[in-house]
Chains A and B, each alone.
Chain A
């Protein structure tokens, strides 16, 4: 599991993991709303930079009470999206019925109860691999990302 803290918001801690070959996607989908973390379809994530950029944006919105969704975790998914449509963001970046690879992401406040290392593993039945740019490049689907990010130029390699 990757832990990270954003310098400007050091009272928050970010926990993230990458799971491959997830077996219980349907169960996860059914209880998406009750999970203490966000689940993102890994085929839409191309780098850690992209992921943390969304977290940064969500934290900025959170700090100024501009959250548009119920939790910080779901705000991260919304921040990944180029549009401000919440349903569309969840549909595009959230897990789908056929998602096999999942990025789990939790943003917690350090002053609240500490985040348990095992939460992701208890819920998600799959292989946990290191969350790195290298591994993300294997789970990435270029066509999907072009579609979800509305990129229509040929400039991305």
Chain B
């Protein structure tokens, strides 16, 4: 990772907030830190509590003023969506702690842990790989149904994730089971369109197909089971909406994620 970006962040945060880079995407770099941005009770005694810092570095190939506007817009929209989602009861998303739109910084709650036996970080992807010895176990089924339920809840409330993959679902161990959290709403949006929901489902299906191909069929089935559960709880209206989404999902599957390029 570019040392330049790290030094940019460090000079912005001052030496009081040490950060460790953990991941880089096309648009943002993700860091962890043990320092809370503003809470007074943090005496830095508990090193196990971590926070995520998502930083969107300025892009040199863009005109500075356009770059500023874009960074601000994207940071703000991601924060806004996270804040809205955390108000939906039953939906698990990381808590938004702070945001600085002028610098493209978002502080969020740290979720997940290291999986046992060196299986890596507890994303759904690593989890499914860990469970590969017994891929059709009850535990895997429960987890995937729960993931599907979360996605259903997201869509039922008219939000779309935009980049649903198995690595954008983080599992949190709650003693007896794994509780899924949806993360990374950088491409998220509030949308009432069935198209966006269909695409979300399609992207997820493709992700499952390509990372866990051997068991993908069963996995997708469990995911959809949880997804449908949300809609079926709602009366007639839910049934109708579900039918529309599934119908569009079929269409998207036939033509691919992108709509016709004509016109």
* Residues of A in contact with B (beta carbons under 8 Å apart): 2, 4, 6-8, 10, 48-49, 52-53, 55-57, 60, 64, 66, 151, 153-155
Contacts and interface: CB of A to CB of B under 8 A. Distances in A.
B198 to A, nearest CB: 28
A153 B87 CA distance: 7
Given A8-B16, A155-B89, A56 B98 contact: yes
B48 interface: no
19 contacts: A2-B40, A4-B40, A6-B38, A7-B16, A7-B37, A48-B39, A48-B41, A49-B38, A49-B39, A52-B38, A53-B97, A55-B38, A56-B37, A57-B98, A66-B102, A153-B87, A153-B88, A153-B89, A155-B87
B13 interface: yes
Contacts of B16: 7-8, 10
Contacts of B89: 153-155
Nearest to B44: A7
A64 B38 contact: no
A154 B17 CA distance: 36
A66 B100 CA distance: 12
B3 interface: no
Contacts of A56: 37-38, 98
Given A8-B14, A53-B97, 20 more contacts: A2-B40, A6-B37, A6-B38, A7-B13, A7-B37, A8-B16, A10-B16, A48-B39, A48-B41, A49-B39, A52-B38, A53-B38, A55-B38, A56-B98, A60-B102, A64-B102, A66-B102, A153-B88, A155-B87, A155-B89
Interface residues of B, number: 17
A10 B37 CA distance: 11
A150 to B, nearest CB: 10
Contacts of A57: 98
Interface in B29-44: 35, 37-41
A15 to B, nearest CB: 12
A2 B13 CA distance: 24
A66 B103 CA distance: 13
User: Main SS of the interface on chain B?
Assistant: loop
Which one of A2, A8, A52, A154 has the greatest number of beta carbons of chain B within 10 Å? A8
Contacts of A48: 39-41
B44 to A, nearest CB: 9
A104 to B, nearest CB: 16
Contacts of B87: 151, 153, 155
Interface in B10-52: 13-14, 16-17, 35, 37-41
A155 B92 CA distance: 13
A52 B102 contact: no
A55 B98 CA distance: 11
A143 to B, nearest CB: 18
A8 B17 contact: yes
Nearest to A14: B40
Interface in B75-97: 87-89, 97
A146 B88 CA distance: 15
A52 B14 contact: no
A8 B55 CA distance: 15
A64 B17 CA distance: 19
B71 to A, nearest CB: 13
A66 B72 CA distance: 14
Q: Which of B14, B89, B97, B100 has the most CB of A within 10 A?
A: B100
Nearest to B107: A56
Contacts of A10: 14, 16
